[in-house]
């Protein structure tokens, strides 16, 4: 067998790199020229366009990257970043990206678990960062709000509380998450058992389609409006804003966090929680966090701590009585509880208690200085005590340090809504969602491989305890391990490998909507809805 001359190989690689660089440079110049022709006042537009030649390019790119996994030298970088000031800038970006064969990414808050709002593994690509689309208009009289897609849920909560002490919104607990992606993927939070998820409370939207046309609910039609409320907006267009229905909250809510270790009967409490959390009064949401900690009874021994974290839409006296009736095993007492306003509970669950309320306006409080990998499951049957003990054994023996296991209860309003009402299918019959979170700070490929290998192995270990056929997952906890699209126009069959896990019976309808509104598959990523 002949071998290639090393000098010739070096020349070939250099030549290919030069061709690739020249091609990118050519596309880059043509794309920028296209933008200048599309926007009449190109001088103002040029101030929000960043290329690798700009001194601000790196800081703009990294400003809202929440995960160090996507800051490595080999992570694909965009050819251009645009931070639009007006809708015409986004329309121009769509038109020119189509004209010059560039992949397209839209970043709202930067929390996509796999970085798909700012990383494309098909290059070249452009990022449209909606950081300046943060307008929020609260209509107290009609209990509604318009919120632009670049706003965060923390900003939304703050603006609601600024106008009313008795209105809130049902969405997540992390205040720096952008509403553009969070709402379009579902949006579970501490009031979801009472009012459903965020997507259940969207009454209108504004969206730019693949042809640059701006739609509201009426002009986009009910099929597309259905698809973007839980099916992920990035497959269908650019979400500009949501019109949401605000929900009533009492002037006083009650929170508590009660910790129990295995030595304090945690196994029986977790087992019992599975029979209570989805059936208890809808005003109560009782989340469960599981972590490995040092035992307080034996030096050097590890144990599991179960943290029962709750929001009750009412006062402490009613809550204590309710818990005594529904979950007396936990032993909740008045001293465990804190009464506060709903907006203060937002700070409590975000670990920001004691901070001024305007900390919710800060988009940068969770910019990452760590590596992160998350996965998810759904439980439709309780895990037995024997099963829980097997899980504890795995977690205690884990060769990694920082992980968290979260059970989020369903039931209540979430389960009253039909599985096909929105693309989010996890409704009646779902007991709780499971979230696996792994965090590490050590750099290097060996540490990366060690942590990723462990969480994948643990995910496989959990298979007997969770839903199956399909093994369901939550889109907002995106996981490329579930499967990815082929490059270009992937097949429906290939995409079904991951799509059925997120969307179940709704996946086929999503593909029909995608084919109708984006037949050329311009809005695509590694887990975008396929065309048929």
Is there a contact between 171 and 147 (Cβ–Cβ < 8 Å)?
no
Among 201, 136, 125, CA closest to 163: 136
Strand spans (E) along 329-399 = 337-340, 371-379
Helical (H) or strand (E) element with 60: helix 57-62
CA angle 189-165-130, nearest 5°? 55
Residues sharing a CB contact under 8 Å with residue 478, sequence separation 6 or more, in sequence order: 112, 113, 114, 116, 527
Catalytic-residue membership of 118: no
Is there a contact between 293 and 303 (Cβ–Cβ < 8 Å)?
yes
Instruction: Name the β-bridge partners of 207.
Output: 215, 239
- CA dist 72 and 183 (Å) reads 29
User: How many residues would you count in the chain?
Assistant: 532
Q: How many CB atoms lie within 10 A of CB 89?
A: 20
Among 363, 348, 353, CA closest to 155: 363
Q: How many helices (H) and strands (E) does the chain have?
A: 17, 18
DSSP per residue over 65-79, as a string? ---GGG-STTS---S
Q: Which of 188, 477, 492, 502 is catalytic?
A: 477
DSSP per residue over 252-268, as a string? -EEEEEEEEEGGGTHHH
- CA dist 405 and 394 (Å) reads 12
Residue 338 phi/psi, 5° resolution? -130, 125
Supply the DSSP symbol for 463.
Answer: G
Handedness of CA 287, 150, 216, 34 (dihedral sign): negative
Q: Which residues of 254-287 are buried (b: 16+ CB within 10 A; e: fewer)?
A: bbbebebbbeeebbebbbbbbebbbebbbbbbbb
Pairing of strands 125-129, 80-82: parallel
DSSP per residue over 404-424, as a string? EEEEEE--THHHHS-TTSSS-
Q: Which residues are catalytic?
A: 477
């Amino acid at each position: 067998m002949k071998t290639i001359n090393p000098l010739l190989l070096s020349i070939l690689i250099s030549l290919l790199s030069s061709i690739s660089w020249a091609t990118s440079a050519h596309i880059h110049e043509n794309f920028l020229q296209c933008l200048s022709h599309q926007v009449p006042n190109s001088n103002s537009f040029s101030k929000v366009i960043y290329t690798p030649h700009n001194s601000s390019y790196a800081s703009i790119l990294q400003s809202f990257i929440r995960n160090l996994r996507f800051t490595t030298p080999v992570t694909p970088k965009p050819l251009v970043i645009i931070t639009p000031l007006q809708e015409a800038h986004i329309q121009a970006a769509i038109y020119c990206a189509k004209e010059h064969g560039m992949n397209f990414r839209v970043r709202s808050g930067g929390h996509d678990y796999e970085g798909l709002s700012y990383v494309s593994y098909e290059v070249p690509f452009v990022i449209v960062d909606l950081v300046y689309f943060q307008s929020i208009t609260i209509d107290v009289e009609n209990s509604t709000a318009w919120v632009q897609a670049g706003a965060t849920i923390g900003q939304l909560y703050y603006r609601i509380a600024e106008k009313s002490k008795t209105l809130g919104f049902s969405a997540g607990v992390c205040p720096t998450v952008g509403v553009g992606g969070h709402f379009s993927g579902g949006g579970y939070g501490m009031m979801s058992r009472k009012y459903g998820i965020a997507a259940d409370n969207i009454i209108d939207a504004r969206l730019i389609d693949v042809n640059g046309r701006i739609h509201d609910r009426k002009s986009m039609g009910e099929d597309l409006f259905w698809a973007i409320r839980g099916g992920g907006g990035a497959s269908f267009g650019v979400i500009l804003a949501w019109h949401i229905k605000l929900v009533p909250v009492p002037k006083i809510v009650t929170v508590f966090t009660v910790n129990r270790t295995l030595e304090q009967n945690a196994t029986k409490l977790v087992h019992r929680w599975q029979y209570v959390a989805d059936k208890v009064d809808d005003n109560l949401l009782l989340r469960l966090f599981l972590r490995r900690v040092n035992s307080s009874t034996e030096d050097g021994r590890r144990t599991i701590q179960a943290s029962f974290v709750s929001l009750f839409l009412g006062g402490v006296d009613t809550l204590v009585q309710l818990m005594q009736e529904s979950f007396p095993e936990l032993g909740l007492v008045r001293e465990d509880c804190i009464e506060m306003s709903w907006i203060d509970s937002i700070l409590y669950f975000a670990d920001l208690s004691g901070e001024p309320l305007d900390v919710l306006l800060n988009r940068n409080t969770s910019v990452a200085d760590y590596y992160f990998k998350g996965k998810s499951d759904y439980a439709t049957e309780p895990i037995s005590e024997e099963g829980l003990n097997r899980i504890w054994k795995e977690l205690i023996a884990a060769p990694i340090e920082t992980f968290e296991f979260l059970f989020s209860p369903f039931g209540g309003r979430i389960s009253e809504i039909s599985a096909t009402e929105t693309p989010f299918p996890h409704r009646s019959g779902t007991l709780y969602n499971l979230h696996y979170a792994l965090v590490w700070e050590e750099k290097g490929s060996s540490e990366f491989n060690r942590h990723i290998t462990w969480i994948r192995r643990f995910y496989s270990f959990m298979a007997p305890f969770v839903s199956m056929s399909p093994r369901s997952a939550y889109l907002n906890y995106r996981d490329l391990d579930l499967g990815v699209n082929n490059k270009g126009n992937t097949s429906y069959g290939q995409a079904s490998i991951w799509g059925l896990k997120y969307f179940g019976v709704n996946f086929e309808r999503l593909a029909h909507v995608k084919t109708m509104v984006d037949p050329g598959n311009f809005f695509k990523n590694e887990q975008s809805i396929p065309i048929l």
